[in-house]
Amino acid sequence: MLGPVLLAAARSDTVRRIVSAAPVTRPVVDRFIPGERRDEALVAASELLAEGLDVTFDHLGEDVTDTASALRSRDAYLRLAEALADEGLGARAEMSVKLSAFGQALPGGDDLALRHVLPVVEAAAAASTTVTLDMEDHTTTDSTLAILARLRERFPETGAVVQSYLFRTEKDCQTLAAAGARVRLVKGAYREPVSVAHQRRSEVDRAYVRCLRILLAGDGYPMVATHDPRLIAVTQSLAARLGRRPGSYEFQMLYGIRPVEQRRLAAEGHRMRVYLPYGTDWYGYFMRRLAERPANLAFFARSLAGR
Ligand code: FDA
């Protein structure tokens, strides 16, 4: 029951101010976000890379309400792409972007977001790596997939994200599972109405397996983003049955969540990519992590009470 409350709070400016200012928040945030600065994220990434894990960087930010903020997001990613080019890590270090940080919600948002994100995709290609477009709430799905299609005309390696909780997603998987297409499958992290999304965990999980089957049977490159042990086991057995070798798909998990499992899968020979967020605008991301797991909230509440 707490999940929806936390997801509503994730979009409240008042709660944002209170949570961000509380001194006890920081140590809890640190578990999920290795730092606010790019150099801190690069240090965290080099540690993961040294252990055989790959990464996708996320410069935190979403729901910008003016063009200047959208340009700041673009510039942050351009500087990141430069750093990745210097490091020469290629596809082992890619970038994930939220189009709402690039102006998607502003008037003329589709064109604006495309204009702002295109130089980032170009810079990624110049650094021999890729960009994946994160998926936000369902009101943005059509726009994000339309921008993806435009980007893929020149950069077919641009990654998509699909959320199994949305009723529409099996169909989207069928469309997206084309040759070479990189598609990340997640359960979905936003509060969605009953008219568009499964509400029960069991239904979301069953839909995840159906989507998984479509993606693994297709010609694309599935990116299986989940911490759920049952879904990881299902992926491995489906992949074996469909003749997919490790390396023709990958696992992805979030920084700080199930790190032992991340290393176990990498040691088994799987490509395991860690989603690595950094930046000052961590509030929305952090609240979604609390909403996913009540135990995180209990830990946070104990920290607050202990002061
Ligand atoms: P589930 O929530 O059932 O968790 C399974 C187990 O994992 C839990 O029992 C627990 O052990 C552990 N776990 C999960 N979340 C935890 C947490 N916050 N803290 C501690 N332990 C936790 N969503 C979206 O809508 N758009 C997107 O673009 C993305 N992008 C994305 C990228 C990557 C790489 C990942 C891994 C996830 C996303 N997500 C996302 C988030 C996704 O939709 C989903 O909310 C989370 O992955 C949690 O769902 P699980 O599949 O892990 O299952």
For residue 189, how far is its CA from the centre of ligand 1 (angstroms)? 7
Protein residue closest via CA to atom 45 of ligand 1: 189
Q: The domain that contains 242 carries what CATH number? A: 3.20.20.220
ipTM of the shown complex = 0.98
Do 3 and 57 lie in a common domain?
Answer: no
For residue 80, how far is its CA from the centre of ligand 1 (angstroms)? 25
Do 62 and 197 lie in a common domain?
Answer: yes
Do 159 and 276 lie in a common domain?
Answer: yes
Do 135 and 272 lie in a common domain?
Answer: yes
- pLDDT recorded at residue 1: 60
Helix axes 294-305, 2-9, angle to 10 degrees: 70
CB 117 within 8 A of CB 74: yes
- Residue 108 burial (10 A CB sphere; 0-12, 13-18, 19+): exposed
- pLDDT recorded at residue 305: 60
Do 74 and 129 lie in a common domain?
Answer: yes
Catalytic one of 54, 58, 92, 134: 134
Do 209 and 196 lie in a common domain?
Answer: yes
The domain tally of the chain equals 2
Annotated binding site for substrate: 98, 288-289
Active site residue 184: yes
Active site residue 273: no
Amino acid (1-letter code) at residue 285: Y
Do 61 and 27 lie in a common domain?
Answer: no
Protein residue closest via CA to atom 14 of ligand 1: 227
- pLDDT recorded at residue 212: 98
Q: How far apart are CA 135 and CA 101, in angstroms?
A: 12
Kindly list the strands in the beta sheet with 272-278, ordered across the sheet, starting from the edge strand earlier in the chain.
Answer: 131-133, 93-97, 54-59, 272-278, 250-254, 221-225, 182-186, 160-163
Do 219 and 294 lie in a common domain?
Answer: no
Residue 26 has phi, psi (to 5 degrees) of -55, -50
Q: Which domain holds residue 83?
A: 33-281
Do 10 and 64 lie in a common domain?
Answer: no
Nearest atom of ligand 1 to the alpha carbon of 187: 43
Do 56 and 172 lie in a common domain?
Answer: yes
DSSP characters for 267-278? HTT--EEEEEEE
The verdict on the CB of residue 289 being under 6 Å from ligand 1 is yes
The verdict on the CB of residue 141 being under 6 Å from ligand 1 is no
- pLDDT recorded at residue 307: 47
- Tens-level pLDDT at each residue, the chain (307 residues): 667 877 877 777 777 777 777 776 777 788 999 999 999 999 999 999 999 999 999 999 999 999 999 999 999 999 999 999 999 999 999 999 999 999 999 999 999 999 999 999 999 999 999 999 999 999 999 999 999 999 999 999 999 999 999 999 999 999 999 988 999 999 999 999 999 999 999 999 999 999 999 999 999 999 999 999 999 999 999 999 999 998 999 999 999 999 999 999 999 999 999 999 999 999 999 989 988 887 777 776 766 665 4
CB 296 within 8 A of CB 254: no
